[in-house]
Amino acid sequence: SGLIHSELPEQEEALMEGFQLWVNLPAKNKMIAPFYRDIPREAIPEFRTPDGVTVRVIAGESQGTAGAVQRPDTEPLYLDLHLPAGTRFEQAIPAGHNVFLYTYRGEVSVAAKAVADRFMAILANDGADGAVIEAAQDARVILVAGAPLNEPIAQHGPFVMNTAAEIQQTLQDYRDGLFETGEVQSL
C-alpha cells in the first residue's frame, strides 16, 4: 500500500550528501501496512577493521555486526565504507545476489578494475561469494547487495508495482488519499 513521507536532510558546513535506497517488496507483500523508519546516524552500527577501514552497517550484516535494518525476502546489505589509502575490504555476499557499489569520494579498485570518484560499478552475479574493494587513496564507498525477486517491475514516479494495472490502481489510491494512514517509526 502506500505512505506519504518526506526526508529533509540538514546541511552542515556547506556540504550535503545523501543516498536514498528503495527496497522493492515481493508481489505477495506489496499491500502490507505501510511504514517509514528514520534511522539517525547514532543508531547505525559501526566497526573498524584491523586495516583501519570504518564500516557503517546500515542494512544486513558485515563481519558479525548486524545492521540497523534487517529485511526478509530481499536480504539487503547496505554498507558505508570509509577506506584509508592502502587498505582493502572484503565482504562475503551470497551467490546469486545482485551487487553494486558507488564511490562518493576517491577511487577504488574491484577485481583489478578502477571505479572512479562518483561512479557506480555493478558486480557480476556469477556465483562468486564476495566483493573485494581496494583503495590506493582515501575513499568512501557504499556497497549494496540483495536477493533478486525475479518478478516483473512496473514503475511510475515513486511507485513500484508488478503490472501496469497495479500502477493505475496505486495512482487512483494516491488521488483518493488512501496513503495517509501509514505509521511512522523512528529509532
pTM of the predicted model as reported, rounded to 2 decimal places: 0.85
Q: Is residue 43 part of a domain?
A: yes
The total number of structural domains in the chain stands at 1
Q: What is the pLDDT along the chain (187 residues), one digit of tens a residue?
A: 666 666 666 677 777 777 777 778 899 988 887 777 778 889 999 999 999 999 999 999 999 999 999 888 889 999 999 999 999 999 999 888 999 999 999 999 998 899 999 999 999 877 666 899 999 999 999 999 999 999 999 999 888 899 999 999 989 988 888 876 544 444 4
Cell of 135: 583503495
HSE, side-chain direction, 13 A CA sphere, residue 119: 13
Q: Is residue 52 part of a domain?
A: yes
Contact 56, 80 (CB under 8 A): yes
Cell of 31: 499491500
Which whole-number Å values give the CA distances from 176 to 89, 94, 118, 165, 167, in the listed order? 48, 42, 40, 17, 14
Q: Is residue 26 part of a domain?
A: no
Q: Is residue 172 part of a domain?
A: no
Q: Is residue 114 part of a domain?
A: yes
Q: Which residues constitute the domain of residue 57?
A: 37-146
The domain that holds 85 is classified in CATH as 2.60.120.10
